[in-house]
Every structure is written in C-alpha cells, then in structure tokens.
Amino acid sequence: MIAACSHRPPCPGCPRYGEGGVADGALGSLRELARSCGASLEAVVEGAPAAFRVRARLAVRGRASSPKIGIFQEESHRIVDIPSCVIHHPRINETVRILKDCIRDAGAAPYVDSSHRGLLRYVQIVVERARATVQVVLVTNDDAAESAEALAEMLKQRLGPRLHSLWWNGNPVRTNVIFGAHWQCLGGEEALRETIGAVPVYFPPGAFGQSNLDLADRIVADVHALVPDAAVVAEAYAGCGSFGLGLLARAREVRLNEQNPHGLRGLELGLAARPAAERGRARVVPGDASACTAMFAGADVVLVDPPRRGLEAEVLKAIIAARPGRLLYVSCDPASLCRDAGALLESGTLRLRSLKPFALFPYTEHVETLAVFDALRAG
C-alpha cells in the first residue's frame, strides 16, 4: 500500500496515484494492436511504487523569503510546491529542502513569469544511484553565471559529500523551454556514471536520461536478450548509449546515431571506458536520424527508441528498405507506435511478434512498450 500524498490536490503529476499497472486507454491501444496482427501482448512489468524517480526538473517560483519548488498546475504558471514528493528519490527531496534554505539565506529571487524578472527559474536534480549523490543544475534568468555564484557556493557547502556536481545553465529568454544555451560547471564531475547493461554509461547534465532507471534497466536487459551474438546492430536515437554500449562485447558492429551534443558527449565518455576491441566495433553516426538512414543498410538488428512523436517518415522508409532480421522498437507513446506499426506491417517485410508494456511512468497515462518485429521470409 503506497502512502498518501500530501501534495494532491492540486499537484497534477500523478493523475492515477495509487493505481497499479498502466492506464486503460494505453493498454487498450496495445491490446488492439496485438489482436489485429496476431502478436502476443505480455504482462505489464511494474517496478517500485515509490521513491523510484531519480531525475526531476522542477520550477522555482514564489519569493526569496518564501520560495516554492515544484511543478505547474495544469495549463498555468501557478506552481505546486512539492517538498515531500512520494515518488522522488529521498535525495531529491532533501536537496530541494536545502536549496530552499539557500535561496532564503542568499536572498536569491525566484523567477516571475509575468514580468520576466528574478534570478532562479528551474532546478534539475539527478541522483547517481551507486553513490546516492546529486547532479544539480541551476537554471537562471541570465547569460552569465556570476549572478548565481553566492547561491551556488552556499549550496555546495551545505550539500557537501552528497553533491556529485553543480552546474549553471543560463536561459534569459521568455520561453517555456527549461534549458538555455549557456552552460558552466561550477564544481564536481562532468557526468553521472550509471551501470546499465553491465557497462558504465555516462550522463552529462544536458543529456536525456530516464527518470525511472531501475525499471529502465529491465527494458535494456530484455533488448539485449533479443540481439543475437555477432549481429550488426544499427541504433537510432541512441542517447548516451544505454542500449548500445552493452552490446559491444558480443556484436560484430554497433552503429550509434544521436543528434543531441550532450548525448554525443555521454556516448564519447562511455566508449572511452570500453576496451579497445569493443571501441573498434562501434561507429558513431552523429546527426538527425532522418538524415542518417544509410546506417540501417546491412544491419541484422535495428533498434529505435524515438521521442514521443515516433519515427520520422524517412526513418520508417529506410528501415523497411533495409529489411533487417529484427526490429526492436522502444516506444513511449502507444499512438505513434500504432501508427508506425501500421506502416511497417503494410510493407510486407516485417511481422509484429510481441508487445511488452512497462509501467515506466507509474500513476500517469503513459506507458513504455518494447515492440519486437521479425522479418517475414519469402516462401
């Protein structure tokens, strides 16, 4: 039985709080897709019901004397202060409490949307699981880090050995985008180190990372089990290498495509940590996936983990033309998965073998799904 949440209402973050599995609508879409093409729909994989979220991006509003750190109410800039979030790793809640004290003591003004004034707009806090230390990013309404120096020094001192690294990000533009273009490390290591798929994977602060890493680890394990030894693997949207790096020990070649420069830096760090023989089997293909479709040619296994919008038309066409022996599609949106599956199945080159849902986003309407497509052989 999960504990009651003191922030609901008005916090909108967990609309299905306390419910197990995944939302009926999402599961219904997967069930219909499986039924329509004779694929198996496996049981939903669930993780810990609380304290599983190791990555949080939180808005900072209110006043310097009474800061609020949390998330916005639906379709508004009214913030919900969530100092004791049940799903956050305890280290995130602890860091939020310490940051609030630092804001008060430093007199650092939180951002005001209406007037575009104030200093601190957002904070990102990510926990490195092995050491339970935090990578903290302070996002300020400025294009230089000097304005945040007093607050940053106070935070470093009070977090002490609990701090993995402290970063400044400058975002002086009127926008709903969280991060700006300006970055500076104010202390600590360049990237978090997580063991995923039995190898170290490195996450700089601007790179994408899953918030529910314990359950994401199980998706990686399932993907690895579906890749045969000595295969040529082409992975689009590879990020920092959570899937691909762990395949280098037994694949013939792993092609890793990523566009985000922070993800590419994480990938670079992960490859540098591998033995020379494994590095020799890796080929990094930087750029937008839709412009890098030649990488799919000759691949035995294609692996994709696209954003919520799904696969670009160019990527779909290239996968169909490449005729891989297997396509592993990790989806965070049933609607785009169903759309893309329709195009893949209509091509007559692939069949949908199975769908496996993971409750990676508990208490929300979202679901992560591993879809396994196998080649249709002539005759």
Question: pLDDT tens across 12-33, in order?
Answer: 999 999 999 999 999 999 999 9
The set of residues, in sequence order, having a beta carbon less than 8 Å from that of 157 and lying 6+ positions away, is: none
User: Is the sign of the CA dihedral 150, 151, 152, 158 positive or negative?
Assistant: positive
Residue 74 is predicted with a pLDDT of 85
Q: Per-residue pLDDT for 2 more than 90? A: no
Helices and strands per DSSP (H, E), number in the chain: 8, 17
What is the model's pTM?
A: 0.96
Q: CATH 2.40.50.1070 spans which residues of the chain? A: 55-190
SS3 category, 41: strand
Distances (CA, A) of 106 to 59, 95, 154, 167, 364: 18, 16, 8, 17, 36
CATH class of the domain at 24-47+212-375: alpha beta
Residue 378 pLDDT class (50, 70, 90 cuts): low
CATH class of the domain at 55-190: mainly beta
The DSSP annotation for 101-134 comes to HHHHHHTPPBPBTTTTB-SEEEEEEEEETTTTEE
The DSSP annotation for 188-222 comes to E-SSEEEEETTEEEEE-TTS---S-HHHHHHHHHH
Residue 350 is predicted with a pLDDT of 97
Bridge partners of residue 187, in order along the sequence: 166
Token pair listed for 275: 């033995």
Share of the chain above pLDDT 70, in %: 99
Q: CATH 3.40.50.150 spans which residues of the chain? A: 24-47+212-375
Residue 379 is predicted with a pLDDT of 43
